[in-house]
Amino acid sequence: VSSLIEELASAAAAEACVEFEPGMVERLCAYSRAVAHFPTAVKE
């Protein structure tokens, strides 16, 4: 998951000319653990 986040962040940063702060991967992983119990189904 971490390598996927890094790859997507790299592409997004290049496309949007932005720079992500260090620790972004760790923060996103921590966030996903914190909201793991939230419903995430897609409504059709």
**Dist CA 44 CA 30 (whole Å):** 29
Q: Which residue has the higher pLDDT, 42 or 5?
A: 5
**Confidence (pLDDT) at 6:** 95
* Prediction pTM value: 0.69
Query: Does the pLDDT of residue 42 top 90, yes or no?
Result: no
pLDDT > 80? residue 44: no
DSSP labels, 32-44: HHHTTTS--PPP-
Find the helix packing angle between 2-16 and 24-34, rounded to 10°.
Answer: 120
Q: Please, are residues 24 and 5 in contact by the beta-carbon 8 Å criterion?
A: yes
pLDDT digits (tens, 9 = 90+) for 2-26: 999 999 999 999 999 999 999 999 9
